[in-house]
């Protein structure tokens, strides 16, 4: 088994995806929001690339079963039920509901690797569970750092590095990129909040008033669930 990483998501063909499992990581905040929503009893999350796409899709479902969430420029979109803060996705809000979600980078990343049989959702909040699941799959894991508008995102790569570090301890082989991510994770020596605060995306969230989301998103292993993206929808299996 050999672990690899995409520092920026790129389109993967069905042929390239063979024998691989993709872990989509948008630690600030889409992945964390998805893990949180499903951990609180949300029935499924449908990631959609555009804002218009979310409204069009929502019309196909009973309004009372359906939530529309996500962000543009970090902020809740006009007409949406929820933004992209995982703290909004409490049990009494999401339980039993379908969530249609669009975010600037995270939801796109799922569609880039949709040709794969195995697409998992990874965050700091479920990193251990994701690494454990990777060990049991008959596939080489590829961490997909969602990045920020096509640019390298420190927090996503450090989160990938946390999972890679766990896999490395089990004797898994690393590509150079995976090794670099693991070294980066260890270099922060447990100070993930400090890391999030110096990251470009973290600084922009603080400016927008979402500082508490940083603390929320760097909590490690508060969920043992591994959401899976398949046929356009993210669910627990």
Interface residues with its own copies (CB under 8 A) are 5, 7, 148, 151-154, 157, 175-177, 179-180, 183-184, 186-187, 198-201
Nearest-Å Rg of the Cα atoms of the chain is: 16
Residue 122 CB, nearest approach to its own copies (Å) = 18
CB nearer to its own copies: give 93 or 180.
180
CB nearer to its own copies: give 98 or 148.
148
- Integer Cα distance of 166 and 101 in angstroms: 29
CB nearer to its own copies: give 5 or 127.
5
Residue 84 CB, nearest approach to its own copies (Å) = 19
Residue 80 φ/ψ, nearest 5 degrees: -80, 155
CB nearer to its own copies: give 69 or 177.
177
Strand partners, 151: 148
Residue 152 CB, nearest approach to its own copies (Å) = 4
Residue 189 CB, nearest approach to its own copies (Å) = 11
- Which pairing describes strands 228-230 and 66-72: parallel, antiparallel, or unpaired? unpaired
CB nearer to its own copies: give 47 or 141.
141
What is the full DSSP assignment across 38-103?
A: HHTT--EEEE-SSHHHHHHHHTTS-GGGEEEEEEETTEEPTT-SB-S-GGG--HHHHTT-EEEEE-
CB nearer to its own copies: give 70 or 202.
202
Residue 90 CB, nearest approach to its own copies (Å) = 31
**Pair 31, 126: CB distance under 8 Å:** no
Q: Which tokens is 81 given?
A: 């039920």
Residue 5 CB, nearest approach to its own copies (Å) = 8
- The position carrying tokens 């008959």 is 138
Q: Which tokens is 210 given?
A: 């979402």
């Amino acid at each position: 088994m050999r672990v690899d990483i995409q520092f920026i998501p790129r389109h993967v063909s069905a042929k390239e995806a063979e024998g691989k499992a993709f872990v989509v990581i948008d630690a600030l905040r889409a992945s964390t929001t998805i893990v949180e929503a499903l951990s609180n009893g949300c029935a499924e999350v449908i990631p959609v690339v555009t804002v218009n796409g979310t409204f069009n899709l929502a019309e196909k479902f009973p309004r009372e079963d359906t939530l529309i969430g996500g962000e543009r420029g970090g902020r809740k979109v006009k007409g949406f039920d929820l933004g992209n803060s995982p703290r909004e996705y409490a049990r009494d809000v999401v339980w039993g509901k379908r969530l249609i979600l669009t975010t600037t980078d995270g939801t796109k990343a799922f569609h880039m690797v949709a040709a794969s049989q195995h697409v998992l959702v990874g965050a700091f909040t479920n990193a251990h569970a994701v690494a454990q699941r990777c060990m049991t799959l008959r596939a080489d894991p590829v961490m997909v750092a969602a990045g920020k508008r096509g640019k390298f995102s420190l927090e996503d790569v450090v989160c990938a590095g946390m999972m890679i570090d766990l896999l490395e301890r089990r004797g898994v082989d690393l590509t150079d990129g995976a090794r670099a991510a693991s070294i980066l994770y260890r270099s922060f020596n447990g100070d993930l909040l400090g890391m999030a605060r110096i990251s470009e995306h973290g600084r922009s969230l603080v400016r927008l008033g979402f500082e508490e989301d940083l603390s929320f998103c760097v909590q490690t292993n508060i969920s043992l669930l591994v959401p899976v993206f398949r046929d356009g929808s993210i669910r627990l299996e």
